[in-house]
Amino acid sequence: MAGTVTLSEAESKQLLATYRVPVPDERTAATADAAVIAAGEIGYPAVAKLCGRGIAHKTERGLVRLGLADADAVRAAATELLVAARPDDGPVEVLVAPMLRGTRELIAGLHTDPEFGRCVMVGVGGVLAEAVADVSFRLVPIERVDAEEMLDDLRGSALLGEVRGEPVVDRGALVGILLGLAALAEAELDVLSVDVNPLVVVEGKPVAVDALVELRT
């Protein structure tokens, strides 16, 4: 879009983390060797993704490598990713992250609406988020009670309970994420939109596994 720029995934998550949105323990690496060192620090299995401001549709372009079991796998994946970068992607790095598992994926975000201004959102996430369209919005600013009610609004709010052996989702943590996003909206006036998708529930705790922040330029 004209007049906007998207932060890289790593930059987006750094910004979100300052507003208490939980993000994985991740590292960026400029080379395949650095990626192997990073994975060694984080632990296996690992994930490698190509990361840069120009890269928005990683999955569609095959720029995400999951379930990397050891150093060799990380080295091979990082090498391929760096080769796959196109000239118009601009500066790129490899983002090395832990492989997080959770069957439940949520979405959270911010939107700047022409009529309503800044809005915060939560919903059922993942690649089908738009098709499922089970979401709830509020106008920023919000109070804790609003964040609680947003979760109650979801048709799929049963997902937040105990599901298939996974524990109840930490509602307090979800509320904290929504309050954090609202605080970000109030403080960071150049932020036009935020997508946290998927917000994966790992052993009851929501973690921003992917995120994209769009800025006004």
Residues that bind another protein (CB under 8 A): 1, 4, 6, 56, 107, 109-111, 113, 115-117, 119, 121, 123, 129-130, 133, 135-139, 142-143, 145-146, 149-150, 153, 193-195, 197, 212, 214
Closest CB to another protein among 44 and 137?
A: 137
Closest CB to another protein among 6 and 28?
A: 6
Closest CB to another protein among 69 and 116?
A: 116
Closest approach of Cβ 162 to another protein, in Å? 21
Closest CB to another protein among 194 and 207?
A: 194
Closest approach of Cβ 111 to another protein, in Å? 4
Closest CB to another protein among 10 and 212?
A: 212
Q: Which phi and psi (to 5°) does residue 98 adopt?
A: -70, 150
Closest approach of Cβ 129 to another protein, in Å? 5
Contact 184, 15 (CB under 8 A): yes
Number of neighbouring beta carbons within 10 Å of residue 76: 14
Q: Choose among 32, 135, 151, 133: nearest CA to 92.
A: 32
Residue 68 to residues 71, 126, 150, 171, Cα–Cα distance (Å): 8, 21, 36, 31
Closest approach of Cβ 96 to another protein, in Å? 25
Closest approach of Cβ 208 to another protein, in Å? 13
Contact 44, 68 (CB under 8 A): yes
